[in-house]
Amino acid sequence: MNCLEFERLLDEGAADRLPAEALAHARACEACARSLARARSLERELETHFSEAIAAPAGFADRVMVRVERGEARGVRWLALPSAFPWWTRAALEPGVVLALATLALFTWRSDRWLAGARAAWDGLAAAPKWAHDGLLAAGFGPLADLLSRSLASVASASPSVQLGLALGVAPLLLLASWLAWRAGERLVGAVGAR
């Protein structure tokens, strides 16, 4: 162990639980031994500093209760009460349900446009292999273009069991992406809830 590694250990807060190698270094190095003594003194001082009790200001609880009893957040609190709404109202207020209902409403309202859009998107998607093929040919990747179009053609004309196998292969990736999105949503809700 060298002096830099020793200093790093001290910065990590390990002054009172140094490994044997570090202790041996401190015994051999006068500068590090001094650093260790000062780091331990600082840790002790920090512990003392943070163990000192600080009383709340006089009348603090009274001032909190004035705000509570004034009903600063009465409406919001009532909404959080389990008895505020029947269960089916709460279920309908879940973000996922709200999103699904909003999507359904939008779809019903503008179903003709949505269907036309979906048809155009599907046509575009169906033409994508041809575009990719043409693009690769134009860029001088003829063999790669042939390989791509043969693969896509073979998938399209493959038996349902092969297509199912491919779908099952992709499914875990989709599930992982969905789970990550779910966790991100949970963290967001948790962060907002703690405020």
Structure tokens that stand for 28 in this block = 């051999």
Q: Which residue number, 63 or 119, has a Cβ lying nearer to another protein?
A: 63
Q: How far is the CB of 35 from another protein (least distance, A)?
A: 7
Q: Which residues, in sequence order, are CB contacts of 35 under 8 Å at separation 6+?
A: 6, 7, 10
Q: What angle do CA 179, 180, 181 make, to 5 degrees?
A: 90
Q: How far is the CB of 160 from another protein (least distance, A)?
A: 45
Q: Which residue number, 57 or 169, has a Cβ lying nearer to another protein?
A: 57
Q: Which residue number, 12 or 112, has a Cβ lying nearer to another protein?
A: 12
Q: Which residues, in sequence order, are CB contacts of 185 under 8 Å at separation 6+?
A: 95
Q: Which residues bind another protein (CB under 8 A)?
A: 10-13, 34-35, 37-39, 41-42, 45-50, 53-57, 60-61, 63-65, 67-69, 72-73, 76-77, 80-82, 191, 193-195
Q: How far is the CB of 187 from another protein (least distance, A)?
A: 8
Q: Which residue number, 63 or 150, has a Cβ lying nearer to another protein?
A: 63
Contact of 15 with 43, CB cutoff 8 Å = yes
Q: How far is the CB of 99 from another protein (least distance, A)?
A: 21
Q: Which helix (H) or strand (E) segment is 109 a member of?
A: helix 95-109
CA-CA distance, 171 to 142, in Å (whole number)?
31
